[in-house]
Amino acid sequence: MMDDAVVSFSAGSLMLLNCILAVVMFSIAIDLKPSDFRAFTKAPKPLIIGLISQFLLLPVLTYLLVIVVQPQASVALGLILVAACPGGNISNFITHRAGGNTALSVSMTAFSTVGAILLTPANIAFWGSLYPPSASLLRSTQIDPVNIAITVGLMLILPLILGLTLNRKHPALTARLRKPLQWISMAIFVGFIVIALAANWSIFLAFAGGIAGLVIVHNALGLGGGYALATLAGLSPFDRKAVTIETGIQNSGLGLVLIFGFFGGLGGMAIVAAFWGIWHAISGLLLAQLMSRTRAAR
């Protein structure tokens, strides 16, 4: 029974994952400047549309998927939790590859990360409570939204502030650190996921088949929903690429931290987040390859 399966993950491993995620966030933050944010005070529409797509549209689409498919409680809650997370740490790289508005992508990542302190626990609690099986699971785990907010803040916001500060005070140093740190941090993160899956391979093989299809559909809904909303809002193709990718690339690493920290490594949830971490990189890079063939008008 997937809802009863538990993925093995030690306290030391969770601490290591926290540190890796903080380094990944820091590697993104040193690519940011205050001017990246000020530009959108004059023309905020693309950023507002992007954040609506990220924190409202994707959770709504996720809930509709759950209602249609009726998965087991832990799988449903895993999908809802991933949808409640901020944009993923590779979205900026993928947007650049796609020829989209990288500054918008970076700003969406930064603003959604800050907003995640309140919106991630709120979305998990709200949408999870609307599906009876996951609502029962939420009651049994008794998660504390305040503790989730603290975890998100320490792991994402603190590295963001440190990276911004370092980039402002020592731009020459961050210029040297930027590319190597981004590649190294991502390689370590992917390696960590692979090792964690290998340690729980029997559970992954037992349940991954059914979950893989759901994750692929879920990711497609995110990408498609972001594209549709950006199109309906009249955004330029340049901005539309960024909103599409930001909506479909989720911070599944944060999802894993929350799952192991607050849900005891529940099997269905952990496998959803782990497979998301693999699949969204594949789908994002494939989409970027397609998008890069057309030069986006600004």
Mean pLDDT of 58-78: 93
- Each domain of the chain, given as residue ranges in start order, spans 2-291
pLDDT in tens, 139-171: 776 666 677 777 777 777 788 788 888 888 888
What's the pTM?
0.80
Which residue blocks in 233-266 are alpha helix, DSSP H? 237-248, 252-262
Sign of the Cα torsion 13, 19, 23, 25 reads positive
Q: Which fold has domain 2-291?
A: Na+/H+ antiporter like fold (1.20.1530)
d(CA 92, CA 31): 10
Percent residues over pLDDT 90 in the chain: 26
Closest Cα to residue 155, out of 260, 278, 54?
A: 260
Check residue 5 and give its pLDDT.
47
* H/E stretch holding 106: helix 102-130
Neighbouring CB atoms inside 10 A of 297's CB total 9
Check residue 111 and give its pLDDT.
82
Q: Which one is predicted more confidently, 37 or 245?
A: 245
| 32, 105 Cβ separation under 8 angstroms | no
Q: 36 falls in which pLDDT band (50, 70, 90)?
A: low
Neighbouring CB atoms inside 10 A of 37's CB total 16
Check residue 62 and give its pLDDT.
96
Buried b (16+ CB within 10 A) or exposed e, 185-211: bbeebeebbeebbeebeebbeebbeeb
Exposure on the CB side of residue 184, measured as CA atoms within 13 A: 8
Check residue 149 and give its pLDDT.
74
Q: Is the pLDDT of residue 110 over 90?
A: no
Q: 175 falls in which pLDDT band (50, 70, 90)?
A: confident
Q: 61 falls in which pLDDT band (50, 70, 90)?
A: very high
Q: Which one is predicted more confidently, 143 or 109?
A: 109
Q: 24 falls in which pLDDT band (50, 70, 90)?
A: confident
Contacts of residue 95, Cβ cutoff 8 Å, sequence gap at least 6: 101, 102, 104, 105, 241, 242, 245, 246, 288
Q: Which one is predicted more confidently, 264 or 115?
A: 115
Q: 30 falls in which pLDDT band (50, 70, 90)?
A: confident
Percent residues over pLDDT 70 in the chain: 79
Closest Cα to residue 23, out of 197, 249, 242, 253?
A: 253
d(CA 89, CA 256): 14
Q: Is the pLDDT of residue 279 over 90?
A: no
Contacts of residue 98, Cβ cutoff 8 Å, sequence gap at least 6: 241, 245, 287, 288, 291, 292
Tokens of 147: 């503790």
